[in-house]
């Protein structure tokens, strides 16, 4: 009898203790909406894998301040309407503390008002500058803007003393946005846009456009703002037409698949890219080298796929948020937001982040490397 | 009274109204109201398409294009032209009708696959214009929709839009029921069953087809405007894309062509299932496909007609 009572007391005690420890070690919910299927899966898939890997990793190490993380991840299939619904779900149903995601500018802009209203910090992977300009209190982003890619290319053109360029831009969101930013920024660098052509995201041949550019007198360089396989086709056709002027592509092609698709034509092509792309070839004293190699190794081991720049946006976004949560006095969304904004000197794979109330991205041009493709691999050019 | 209501042709609209009024008391959060609003919006667009497809037997693979016109009207009007939102929405509906009229005149002469391909082309054209005219539409990344302001008060909140969308759907339903039981409705059904026979009994086939095409475009445009207001940000793909058109057709066919509640059931399935299936993570698309296939195999005439037929069998 006494034994039985003691037994129940013991059980009750463990229950209470369990309850206590449960209450102390809070579970922090991190929301995410990425386009892991559909037309933008090139972006969303590595982002999804990266986030899953990082959350697993942090939980295996005991979580943040003893709190385990729980990733609530939805796939919007690239549809801005679905993204908006999932955003509402994260805010209303899942009660997440912070949201990391939004693979495209379209889905990001559809979701941003939801998180602004719900007052939840939102770290986006969208490229376009309109995400952070004007500054929205709760919205941040990790990738370089397309304007910065233009500036990097123009700086390189200035160094090579070239000033007359032709554009062959994609009609998708990425290509259009970057083309607009480049054209607007060109006069500041003394660059003159002498000719413009466009291509559709599914074009299989760009010989006519490139022939027009070739026949246009005075073109000193060609820029292809675009993402995915479009620029690779452009590069192939550029080689076939034996065009002599230098060719630049955008940071939107930054993956090994691009070199494979473009074949021989890629030789000598230049692009602005994050340090992530260079990997082992980064200088030994490069501040980004350790973090780039860490992420690359972990990702390739976990997924068996080569690392891509789009996954890198997710890595930086997640790590900035994780660091902010470590510093934050509480796990409340507002506390996390304030700490994200105070991020200073965070070394990520895309650059060194210094956020401020006026700058919710925090990158400067130093994070971008001008890269040339030589013998099927990336080589940094000074 | 109850008996009369049950026998009334407006029964589906009554049911819809009752469901709309009851739902907010049952649903635990505004997220569910948002999902319900999406069901209403897509049901409205699918209902217009159902008049074309179910009643008159004409197919349109480009119907989302008209949604796009309605959606971008309420975005472009206030942003670029300084026109208030409500007149912009009406202008959008008018423009959509005009487009449908101009395009419908030549292409409704086509039949079957040819009509399908021609309407597909129209939808793609509208989508391309919305994508490429970036100075007006913001390009592929889309544009923000200014908040609707009525009597100096901004209309906001998921709940408000839930009721607006619900009321719009009920009105759309009543109009659709009226049309079905009118002489025009009978004429359209005659055209669906046999165009030759319809012509022989003196029905102006071309005129009637054009009328129902324009009407269905108006439904889609209203739905598009509502979608834009609810979302606050629109992109060409999410309003007028080809996949959106296919989704609308799927809603009609899945729910049952011809039945007034059919599009509502179809929209409910296609909007709610992806939300419910997120627990399956990587398999959600596969399961969604399986559910749709199972529906079509087991309930061949579509959900609503097949289920009502079974219900009647049992009660008889």
The CATH number for A165's domain is 3.40.50.2300
Same domain as A152, residue A135: no
Which range has highest mean pLDDT (B129-133, B285-289, B291-295)? Answer: B129-133
If you measure CA to CA, which chain B residue comes closest to A88? B31
If you measure CA to CA, which chain B residue comes closest to A110? B233
Same domain as A72, residue A48: yes
Provide the domain limits for residue A330: 23-144+288-363
Looking at the complex, report in whole angstroms how far the Cα of residue A246 sits from the nearest Cα belonging to chain B.
Answer: 28
Q: Which residues of B touch A130 (CB under 8 A)?
A: 141
Cβ–Cβ below 8 Å for A74 and B141: no
The reported pTM is 0.87
Cβ–Cβ below 8 Å for B140 and A180: no
Rounded to whole angstroms, the Cα distance separating B97 from B217 reads: 6
Average pLDDT value for residue range A149-157: 93
Provide the domain limits for residue B163: 12-241
Least confident of A112-121, A273-282, A337-346, B164-173: A273-282
Average pLDDT value for residue range A231-238: 91
Is B153 strand, coil or helix? strand
Nearest to B231 among A75, A78, A110 (CB): A110
> Using one digit for the tens of pLDDT, what is the confidence trace for A312-330?
999 999 999 999 999 999 9
Same domain as A158, residue A129: no
Helices (H), chain B: 2-7, 11-26, 30-50, 64-76, 85-107, 112-132, 134-137, 158-180, 183-193, 195-200, 205-231, 236-240, 242-255, 262-276, 284-298, 303-315
In a domain, B237, yes or no: yes
Residue closest to A152 by CA, chosen among A115, A191, A197: A191
Distances (CA, A) of B59 to A106, B48, B118, B189, B306: 30, 12, 10, 14, 21
Looking at the complex, report in whole angstroms how far the Cα of residue B109 sits from the nearest Cα belonging to chain A.
Answer: 32
Burial profile A171-190: b = 16 or more Cβ within 10 angstroms, e = fewer? bbbbbbbbbbbbbebbeebe
In a domain, A15, yes or no: no
Cβ–Cβ below 8 Å for A109 and B141: yes
In a domain, A102, yes or no: yes
Least confident of A344-348, B52-56, B156-160: B156-160
If you measure CA to CA, which chain A residue comes closest to B27? A93
Average pLDDT value for residue range A302-306: 90
Q: Give the per-residue pLDDT at A367.
A: 81
In a domain, B302, yes or no: no
Average pLDDT value for residue range A197-226: 91
Res A16 pLDDT > 50: no
Q: Give the per-residue pLDDT at A246.
A: 93
CB A209 within 8 A of CB A224: no
Question: What secondary structure, in 3-state letters, does chain A show?
Answer: CHHHHHHHHHHHHHHHHHHHHHHHCCEEEEEEEECCCCCCHHHHHHHHHHHHHHHHHHHHCCCECCEEEEEEEEECCCCHHHHHHHHHHHHHCCCCCEEEECCCHHHHHHHHHHHHHHCCCEEECCCCHHHCCCCCCCEEECCCCHHHHHHHHHHHHHHCCCCEEEEEEECCHHHHHHHHHHHHHHHHHCCEEEEEEEECCCCCCCHHHHHHHHHCCCCCEEEECCCCCHHHHHHHHHHHCCCCCCEEECHHHCCHHHHHHHHHHHCCCEEEEEHHHCHHHCCCCCCCHHHHHHHHHHHHHHHCCCCCHHHHHHHHHHHHHHHHHHHCCCCCHHHHHHHHHCCCCEECCCCEECCECCECCCCCHHHEEEEEEECCEEEECC
Q: Give the per-residue pLDDT at B152.
A: 66
Residue closest to A185 by CA, chosen among A214, A160, A165: A165
Interface mutation target, options B24, B141, B274, B276, chain A, most CBs of A under 10 Å: B141
Average pLDDT value for residue range A58-63: 92
Q: Which residue has the higher pLDDT, A16 or B265?
A: B265
Average pLDDT value for residue range A352-360: 95
Average pLDDT value for residue range B264-278: 91
Distances (CA, A) of A81 to A162, A306, B111, B199: 43, 31, 33, 43
Q: Give the per-residue pLDDT at A356.
A: 95
Same domain as A244, residue A151: yes
Burial (CB < 10 A; 0-12, 13-18, 19+), residue A213, is: buried
Res A63 pLDDT > 50: yes
Cβ–Cβ below 8 Å for B38 and A81: yes
Cβ–Cβ below 8 Å for A81 and B227: yes
Res A84 pLDDT > 80: yes
Same domain as A122, residue A31: yes
Helix (H) or strand (E) holding B149, with range, is strand B149-150
Token pair listed for B22 = 């009851």
Q: Give the per-residue pLDDT at A20.
A: 45
Determine contact: A196 vs chain B, CB below 8 A.
no
Cβ–Cβ below 8 Å for B235 and A80: yes
Same domain as A135, residue A155: no
Q: Give the per-residue pLDDT at B2.
A: 67
Res A292 pLDDT > 70: yes
Q: Give the per-residue pLDDT at B1.
A: 64
> Using one digit for the tens of pLDDT, what is the confidence trace for A243-269?
999 999 998 887 778 888 888 888 889
Helix (H) or strand (E) holding B144, with range, is strand B143-144
Same domain as A263, residue A294: no
Residue closest to A316 by CA, chosen among A128, A120, A41, A46: A46
ipTM of the complex: 0.87
CA dihedral B82→B88→B94→B96, nearest 10 degrees, is 100
Same domain as A301, residue A334: yes
In a domain, B24, yes or no: yes
Q: Give the per-residue pLDDT at A53.
A: 96
pLDDT band at A15 (very low <50, low <70, confident <90, very high): very low
Cβ–Cβ below 8 Å for B233 and A84: yes
pLDDT band at B95 (very low <50, low <70, confident <90, very high): very high
Please tell me the total count of domains within chain A. 2
Name the residue with tokens 């022939």: A211
Same domain as A216, residue A100: no
Res A280 pLDDT > 90: no
Same domain as A122, residue A160: no
Share of chain A above pLDDT 70, in %: 93
Q: Give the per-residue pLDDT at A18.
A: 43
Same domain as A261, residue A310: no
In a domain, B232, yes or no: yes
Nearest to A92 among B31, B139, B278 (CB): B31
Nearest to B233 among A37, A80, A104 (CB): A80
Burial profile A271-282: b = 16 or more Cβ within 10 angstroms, e = fewer? bbbbbbbbbeeb
pLDDT band at A279 (very low <50, low <70, confident <90, very high): confident
Q: Which residues of B touch A37 (CB under 8 A)?
A: 285
Strands A368-374, A377-380: pairing kind: antiparallel
Determine contact: A303 vs chain B, CB below 8 A.
no
In a domain, B78, yes or no: yes
If you measure CA to CA, which chain A residue comes closest to B279? A74
Cβ–Cβ below 8 Å for B278 and A92: no
> Using one digit for the tens of pLDDT, what is the confidence trace for B134-192?
888 888 888 888 887 777 666 777 888 999 999 999 999 999 999 999 999 999 999 99
In a domain, A16, yes or no: no
Determine contact: A128 vs chain B, CB below 8 A.
yes
In a domain, A9, yes or no: no
Q: Which residues of A touch B140 (CB under 8 A)?
A: 106, 171-173, 176
Same domain as A203, residue A238: yes
In a domain, B132, yes or no: yes
pLDDT band at A24 (very low <50, low <70, confident <90, very high): low
Please tell me the total count of domains within chain B. 1
Q: Give the per-residue pLDDT at B23.
A: 92
In a domain, B258, yes or no: no
- Chain-centre distance for alpha carbon B155: 23
Average pLDDT value for residue range B243-263: 91
In a domain, B253, yes or no: no
pLDDT band at B35 (very low <50, low <70, confident <90, very high): very high
In a domain, A255, yes or no: yes
Q: Which residue has the higher pLDDT, A186 or B301?
A: A186
Looking at the complex, report in whole angstroms how far the Cα of residue A75 sits from the nearest Cα belonging to chain B.
Answer: 8
Q: Give the per-residue pLDDT at A349.
A: 92
Phi–psi pair at A343, nearest 5 degrees? -55, 125
């Amino acid at each position: 009898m006494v034994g039985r009572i003691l037994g129940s007391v013991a059980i009750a005690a463990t229950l209470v203790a369990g309850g206590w420890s449960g209450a102390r070690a809070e579970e922090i919910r991190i929301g995410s909406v990425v386009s892991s299927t559909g037309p933008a899966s090139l972006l969303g898939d590595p982002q999804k894998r990266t986030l899953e890997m990082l959350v697993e990793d942090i939980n295996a190490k005991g979580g943040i301040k003893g709190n385990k993380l729980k990733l609530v991840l939805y796939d919007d299939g690239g549809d801005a309407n679905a993204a908006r619904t999932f955003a509402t779900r994260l805010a209303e149903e899942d009660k997440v503390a912070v949201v990391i995601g939004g693979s495209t500018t379209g889905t990001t802009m559809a979701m941003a008002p939801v998180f602004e209203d719900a007052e939840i910090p939102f770290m986006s992977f969208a490229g376009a500058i309109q995400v952070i300009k004007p500054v929205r209190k709760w919205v941040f982003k990790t990738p370089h803007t397309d304007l910065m890619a233009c500036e990097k290319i123009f700086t390189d053109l200035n160094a090579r003393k070239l000033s007359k360029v032709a554009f062959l831009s994609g009609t998708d969101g990425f290509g259009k946005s970057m083309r607009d930013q480049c054209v607007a920024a060109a006069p500041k660098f003394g660059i003159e846009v002498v000719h413009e052509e466009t291509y559709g995201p599914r074009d299989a041949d760009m010989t006519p456009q490139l022939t027009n550019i070739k026949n246009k007198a005075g073109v000193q360089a060609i820029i292809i703002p675009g993402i995915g396989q479009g620029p690779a086709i452009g590069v192939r056709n550029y080689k076939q037409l034996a065009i002599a002027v230098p060719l630049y592509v955008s940071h939107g092609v930054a993956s090994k698949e691009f070199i494979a698709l473009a074949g021989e034509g890629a030789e000598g092509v230049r692009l602005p890219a994050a340090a992530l792309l260079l990997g082992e070839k980064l200088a030994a004293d490069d501040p980004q080298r350790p973090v780039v190699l860490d992420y690359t190794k972990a990702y390739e081991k976990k997924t068996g796929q080569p690392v891509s720049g789009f996954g890198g946006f997710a890595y930086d976004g997640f790590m900035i948020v994780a660091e902010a949560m470590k510093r934050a006095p509480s796990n409340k969304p507002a506390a996390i937001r304030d700490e994200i904004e105070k991020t200073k000197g965070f070394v990520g794979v895309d650059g060194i982040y210094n956020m401020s109330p006026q700058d919710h991205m925090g990158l400067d041009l130093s994070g971008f490397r001008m890269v040339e493709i030589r013998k099927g691999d990336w080589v940094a050019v000074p | 009274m109850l008996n009369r209501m049950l026998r009334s042709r407006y029964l589906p609209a009554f049911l819809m109204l009752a469901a709309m009024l009851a739902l907010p008391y049952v649903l635990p959060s505004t997220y569910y109201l948002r999902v319900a609003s999406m069901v209403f919006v897509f049901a409205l667009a699918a209902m217009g398409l159902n008049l074309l497809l179910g009643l008159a037997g004409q197919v349109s693979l480009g119907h989302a294009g008209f949604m796009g016109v309605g959606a971008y009207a309420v975005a472009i009007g206030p942003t670029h032209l300084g026109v208030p939102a409500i007149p912009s929405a009406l202008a959008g509906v008018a423009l959509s009708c005009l487009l449908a009229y101009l395009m419908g005149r030549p292409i409704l002469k086509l039949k079957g696959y040819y009509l399908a391909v021609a309407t597909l082309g129209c939808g793609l054209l509208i989508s391309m214009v919305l994508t490429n005219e970036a100075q007006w539409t913001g390009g592929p990344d889309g544009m923000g929709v200014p908040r609707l302001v009525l009597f100096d008060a901004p209309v906001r909140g998921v709940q408000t839009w839930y009721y607006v969308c619900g009321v719009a759907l009920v009105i759309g339903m009543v109009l659709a029921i009226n049309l079905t039981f009118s002489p025009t409705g009978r004429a359209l059904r005659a055209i669906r069953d046999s165009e030759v026979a319809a012509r022989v009994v003196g029905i102006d086939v071309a005129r009637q087809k054009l009328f129902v095409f324009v009407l269905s475009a108006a439904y889609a445009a209203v739905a598009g405007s509502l979608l834009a207001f609810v979302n606050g940000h629109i992109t060409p793909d999410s309003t007028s894309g080809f996949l959106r058109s296919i989704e609308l057709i799927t809603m009609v066919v899945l729910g049952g062509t011809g039945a007034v509640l059919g599009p509502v059931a179809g929209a409910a399935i296609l909007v709610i299932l992806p939300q419910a299936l997120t627990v399956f993570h990587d398999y959600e698309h596969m399961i969604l496909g399986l559910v749709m296939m199972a529906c079509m195999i087991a309930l061949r005439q579509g959900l609503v007609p097949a289920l009502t037929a079974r219900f009647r069998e049992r009660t008889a």
